[in-house]
Structure 1
Amino acid sequence: MPRMVPEEEMLFQQSTIPRGTAVSMKVVLIHQGPPISPDSNSFDPERWLKRSDHGRLYKYLVPFSAGSRMCLDMILAWTELYLGMSRMVLWKTVVYDVQLHCDLFILIAKDGSQGVWVMIMS
């Protein structure tokens, strides 16, 4: 979700961002950045559950945004996710299928990806 640079210019690393500029970042980049895990592209959902890392990683977990723009149906969404994903098992999916490729402004699956396939268990 885009945010506006405040009234004065901002210095980020070695770049100056003019006031009034809209800046944003994809949630997937926050969730897969180097601070999360040395191999953040590997499928390891348990990384968020490790007791030793919980406090350190929790601040990066923002799937529903945060603050005043947070998704209002977050609790319903979590419930649906837990129920639905508890029945899913990966099927005919390889690492290449989930690797992301940047196409100008958006992250998309690489050419030739078959996407993520799952089987729903009863």
Structure 2
Amino acid sequence: MDNLRNASGFTLMELLVVVVIIGLLAAIAVPRYTETRVGAFRASLISDLRNLSTSQEAHWRMQDGYAETLQELDISASPNVTLTLTEGDLTGWAARAVHRSLPRETCGVFYGTADAAAVAPASSAVEIRCTF
């Protein structure tokens, strides 16, 4: 019996303390990781709409009108982002972006005579607005 008491190792209490500390660290790290991921998804929505806006202006200068489809602009969205050009003609354009991981959050932008209601929450020209 004395041999068991003299054996080196960790007590149950020491192991429980370590498990609690690891649990606390995980409780802090997981929400921060999630927030960072969501922030990156939101940034990709805004970035894609800015790229679309720049491409539309370049198209207007070269073609004397805005593109009606994304194919005319030859741009591609970020992974898991759906870009939709809802309107495009000689006098304006409107677009919306949605991320697959954030389906309830939408960003929109319009320019010129395009219908702002189609890309809500955008409310003033060239200003990218989002629901978050």
State TM-score, norm by structure 1: 0.25
Give the number of the structure whose residues are more often helix, by fraction: 2
Q: Which structure has the larger Rg?
A: 2
